[in-house]
Chain A
Amino acid sequence: METIKMKNYFFIDMGVMLIRSMRHVFRSLDTIITVTIMPIAMMLLFVYVLGGAIKTGTDKYVNYLLPGILLVAIANSAGYVSYRLFLDKQRGIFERFHSMPIARSAPLWGHMLTSLVSNAISLVVIILVALLMGFRSSAGFLSWLAIAGILALFTLTLTWIAAIAGLSAKSVDGAGVIAYPIHFLPLISSAFVPTTSMPAGVKAFAEHQPVTPIVETIRALLYNQPVGNQIWVALAWCITIMFCAYLFAMRVYRKRL
């Protein structure tokens, strides 16, 4: 009886959690700047300042750049997930939720859902700005759906990694540190420039890290080119990392709280 009742409420409870942390996102100017304004500024910088000197073999640099900018925006949001989780843990909000008759994992899933929804909003804003800057795509509905799916998967992967950091951190600074290595991944990939121009060592790293196949897949989908093996490499990276991070984060969550 009891368990049936709890299950019915799981999604309602998660909805309450979602509203709560979406308010956190919208009321933090800092978060909005980092996840939306910064990537847009970066896009302007790369297209109008550096873009002229970068040879990508595409007609418009903004078309080449956009997938990478989207991943940068998602990467920038990861640190805030750690930060919000850490504060919930430290300030006793999780204790309050856990002493209430709600599903134990609802608070954590609420943060995951918030990450997905807030990233979706910021990515739409960035794409609209890119359209103003001349970005055009020949992708059909199904391709856009596939792009949305890959971006959601990438978001969840980074969010679960960020959750581990937030839940196990001892200080606010520690919770945010995870953001730095994640920020670097899109920079050392084919997101901004083709890997062919890189020195051998860097090139090897760039071509064998998760961001490059994701960027290449999204690019192929945007411009109706064959996606080839890249999509499977991208999915394998995301799903493997996400699954491990999920298991680990859940273990920390159950143990610490």
Chain B
Amino acid sequence: MQNAIRVKGLQKSYRQLHVLKNVDFEVEKGNIFALLGTNGAGKTTIVKILTTLLKKDGGQVTVNGFDVASMPANVRQSISLTGQFAAVDEVLTGRENLVMIARLRHLSQPREVTDDLLQRFGLSDAADRRASTYSGGMRRRLDIAMSLIGNPQIIFLDEPTTGLDPEGRIEVWKIIKELAGSGTTVFLTTQYLEEAEQLASRIAILHEGEIIVSGTLAELKKLFPPAKVEYIEKQPTLEDIFLKIIGNKKEDK
């Protein structure tokens, strides 16, 4: 099977700071790949290099079969980026944001595509309100919807749930799962381990400029001694309680 992303011996420094020392990994087509790492580990740097926003210092990087250094235009045709901060135009309405991206992707029917996405992302009611009035979760949904226009084969999501409340996070997770279900390759960075566990078919951990482990969740679990069986009382977490109460409230309405 052809790989969607191949990275070999990737290096990048900012002046004295050697952020990426020797990064290797591959992402299969149609998979959700999660890149884990602490703040400042270099996750965003990798995303920027893969999306042609930043030049690498060394190594080989191909995205959808195209070399990022020599064929950046072809790479941009194949990908979509949802950056760390929701890059929506706050002065425009949700609808205007989507139409703008559809026009820039040179689609023949920007309005139809927009209506479709508004529906799919539950933004139809808020479509003609300015994005500055949206909640964090809505803004993120709009952001991801903008990235889906033109059906890119590979989608980059840089910490898509950072700063979202639990409800917003679960919504975004649902969207990502649906995406992968439809055959899109998803490259995800996150600092939440649970997120990687929930979503990713393959996980890589970036630490001090190198990928220290990578594999499926099952493979990563094997690296540790077998689980000891203990009997514990399962208490609901605060998150379970919060979501349950919120859920009840909604039903009451």
Chain A residues at the B interface, C-beta cutoff of 8 Å: 2-3, 6, 9, 12-13, 16, 19-20, 23-24, 27-28, 91-93, 95-102, 257
Whether the Cβ atoms of B79 and A92 lie closer than 8 Å is: no
Q: Which of A9, A28, A92 contacts B87 (CB 8 A)?
A: A92
Whether the Cβ atoms of A91 and B87 lie closer than 8 Å is: yes
Q: Which of A2, A3, A9, A24 contacts B91 (CB 8 A)?
A: A24
Residues of chain A lying within 8 A (CB to CB) of residue B73 = 2-3, 6, 101
Q: Which residue of B lies closest to A92 (CB)?
A: B87
Q: A23-B96, A91-B85 are in contact. Are A100 and B76 (CB under 8 A)?
A: yes
How far is B105's CA from A6's CA once the two chains are assembled, in angstroms?
11
Residues of chain B lying within 8 A (CB to CB) of residue A6 = 73
Whether the Cβ atoms of B53 and A13 lie closer than 8 Å is: no
A16 to chain B, nearest CB (A): 5
Q: A12-B106, A23-B96 are in contact. Are A92 and B85 (CB under 8 A)?
A: yes
- Which residues from 114 to 172 on chain B have a C-beta closer than 8 Å to any C-beta of chain A? 146, 156
A90 to chain B, nearest CB (A): 9
Whether the Cβ atoms of A27 and B106 lie closer than 8 Å is: no
How far is B101's CA from A20's CA once the two chains are assembled, in angstroms?
11
B20 near A: Cβ within 8 Å? no
Q: Which of B85, B104, B146 contacts A16 (CB 8 A)?
A: B104
Q: Which of B52, B84, B85, B92 contacts A99 (CB 8 A)?
A: B52
Q: Which of A9, A20, A95, A257 contacts B100 (CB 8 A)?
A: A20
Q: Which of A12, A13, A91, A95 contacts B81 (CB 8 A)?
A: A95
Can you show 11 pairs from A to B with CB atoms below 8 A apart? A12-B103, A16-B100, A16-B104, A20-B92, A27-B91, A92-B83, A96-B81, A96-B146, A99-B80, A100-B104, A257-B53
The CB with the most chain A CB atoms within 10 A, among B80, B89, B100, is that of B89
Residues of chain B lying within 8 A (CB to CB) of residue A16 = 100, 103-104
- Which residues from 36 to 83 on chain B have a C-beta closer than 8 Å to any C-beta of chain A? 51-53, 73-74, 76-77, 79-81, 83
How far is B76's CA from A92's CA once the two chains are assembled, in angstroms?
16
B229 to chain A, nearest CB (A): 47
B35 to chain A, nearest CB (A): 17
Q: Which residue of B lies closest to A257 (CB)?
A: B53
Whether the Cβ atoms of A23 and B92 lie closer than 8 Å is: yes
How far is B80's CA from A60's CA once the two chains are assembled, in angstroms?
60
How far is B93's CA from A20's CA once the two chains are assembled, in angstroms?
11
How far is B77's CA from A3's CA once the two chains are assembled, in angstroms?
13
Whether the Cβ atoms of B79 and A23 lie closer than 8 Å is: no
Residues of chain A lying within 8 A (CB to CB) of residue B80 = 99-100
